[in-house]
Amino acid sequence: MTKSFNALAMAQEKIADLDQQLLKRSLRVTNTPCDTHIQVAGRHLKAFCSNDYLGLANHPDLINALAEGGELYGAGSGASHLISGHSIAHELLEKKLASFQAEHIPNVRALFFSTGYMANLAAITGLAKLTQRGEVSLYSAKLNHASLIDGVRLASAQTNAVVSLFDHTCPSSLIELLKADKKPLKIIVTDGVFSMDGDLAAVKELLKIAEDYDALLLIDDAHGFGVLGKNGHGILEQERLCSDRIIYIGTLGKAAGVSGAFICAQDSFIEWLIQKGRPYIYSTATPPAIAHTLLKSLDLIEGEEGCTRRKHLNQLITIWQEEMTFVNWDKVSSCTPIQPVILGSNANALMASTLLDGEGYWIPAIRPPTVPLGSSRLRITFSANHSAEDLRELIATLKVIEQKVIGKQA
């Protein structure tokens, strides 16, 4: 038997603390592909929790492309991009990703990453190194995704960047801060679609502010890429923005149905990130078969099928907005497939999630630190593979669950 030692006792104590605060998370093992109906431990559940907004994760064309990619390029890339891991499949994917943003960023180039987390770390830390230590200011939206928060923290530790947080619902609060800022490099960092609330950043206003005060605007459109805009190109297409000071980040494991992420920016910024973006340089390139699969996914997103899927998704959003009414709980105003229901305490969110599970639904309780203290919630997400009937059944169930949770509280 292993002897107990300090670090082990600390870990056990910390985990017990989390459990006591109802903050311990646990893994559930699925044994069917990602879709709206999933098997978990032999049980059949209706899932309203993935980010597979267009329902492409289990699309036959992508499964075929993955097999074809394996035939063409083998299983692994074997090295980082700058050594020998950069294949023609990566190159073609980057060209296609850049073409999606060509109307929005002049002289645009794309850089592919294995995850959005890495892309965000690389973009923020890499750009912060464009100037001397202590000469950069980072303005970060308070409710940004953890990967942006970590990118900002790491950049601050590496370059002594000054960090200011702002409320994304009040972008004008940035003006006074920027007016007083004499640093040569300023970067505004924001989610495009806020991942836990589903609302959009005021990107037009932020771009105007960035232009007026000579800042870069970094937008993480993880939840907008594939979903927003007529062609699914994302928030820049939807809001018709064009600027050479935009750094656009999209992820490819959500609406695109596969995995990975990319940064789109002016060629010189991308060239700099290839030179200095440590998460890019010091990590093995994603298997080229994944890049090959993603090329097919981009075709679907841009083509007729993507348009049809986005239309259906929008119909689901309208049904939710019109038909879901709660007595006590708060809905957030969101025009995206992310539709949270705020329950407040961890206990209530867990209770609602457990009751939903009993009714055959998979909707986990989202708790701090993913969301602010006191705003624990059900994060309900729609996929184009949900039918209107699926959604109406969920709405009916949620109304019953609300009463049950309120009853148990009383």
Ligand X SMILES: Cc1ncc(COP(=O)(O)O)c(C=O)c1O
Q: Which residues bind ligand X (CB under 6 A)?
A: 115-117, 120, 145, 147, 191, 195, 220, 222-223, 251, 253, 261
Phi first, then psi: what are they for 169, rounded to 5°? -80, -5
Q: Of residues 168, 254, 296, 386, which has the active-site annotation?
A: 254
Taking the complex as a whole, the smallest distance from the CB of residue 17 to ligand X amounts, in Å, to 25
Given the structure tokens 């985990």, which residue do they identify? 15
For the question of residue 254 being annotated catalytic, the response is: yes
Taking the complex as a whole, the smallest distance from the CB of residue 204 to ligand X amounts, in Å, to 19
CB neighbours of residue 86 within 10 Å? 18
Give the 3-state secondary structure of 133-152.
CCCEEEEEECCCCHHHHHHH
- Look at residue 41 and give its three-state secondary structure: coil
Residue number with the smallest Cβ distance to ligand X: 116
Closer residue to ligand X, CB minimum distance, 348 or 375: 375
User: Is 352 in contact with 378 (CB distance < 8 Å)?
Assistant: yes
Residue type, 391: L
Rounded Cα–Cα distance for residues 297 and 255 (Å): 9
- Of 25, 28, 58, 50, nearest to 41 by C-alpha is 28
Q: Of residues 50, 140, 195, 334, which has the active-site annotation?
A: 195
Dihedral of CA 263/264/268/269: which sign?
negative
Rounded Cα–Cα distance for residues 263 and 219 (Å): 10
- Of 37, 41, 31, nearest to 52 by C-alpha is 37
Closer residue to ligand X, CB minimum distance, 101 or 147: 147
Closer residue to ligand X, CB minimum distance, 109 or 145: 145
Q: Of residues 59, 86, 145, 223, which has the active-site annotation?
A: 223
Taking the complex as a whole, the smallest distance from the CB of residue 393 to ligand X amounts, in Å, to 27
Rounded Cα–Cα distance for residues 406 and 352 (Å): 10
- Of 348, 356, 355, 367, nearest to 25 by C-alpha is 367
* DSSP state letter for 161: -
Given the structure tokens 């980010």, which residue do they identify? 51
Residue type, 255: A
User: Is 277 in contact with 247 (CB distance < 8 Å)?
Assistant: no
Taking the complex as a whole, the smallest distance from the CB of residue 356 to ligand X amounts, in Å, to 21
Closer residue to ligand X, CB minimum distance, 190 or 353: 190
Taking the complex as a whole, the smallest distance from the CB of residue 355 to ligand X amounts, in Å, to 26
Closer residue to ligand X, CB minimum distance, 222 or 391: 222
H helical segments located in 324-375: 346-358
Closer residue to ligand X, CB minimum distance, 250 or 398: 250
Phi first, then psi: what are they for 2, rounded to 5°? -75, 140
- Look at residue 262 and give its three-state secondary structure: strand
For the question of residue 44 being annotated catalytic, the response is: no
- Of 151, 248, 251, 246, nearest to 195 by C-alpha is 251
Taking the complex as a whole, the smallest distance from the CB of residue 115 to ligand X amounts, in Å, to 3
Closer residue to ligand X, CB minimum distance, 117 or 362: 117
Rounded Cα–Cα distance for residues 52 and 274 (Å): 29
Taking the complex as a whole, the smallest distance from the CB of residue 179 to ligand X amounts, in Å, to 29
CA atoms within 13 A on the CB side of 74: 6
For the question of residue 86 being annotated catalytic, the response is: no
Interhelix angle for 88-100 vs 288-302, to 10°? Answer: 30
Closer residue to ligand X, CB minimum distance, 87 or 115: 115
Q: Looking at the annotation, which residues are catalytic?
A: 195, 223, 254
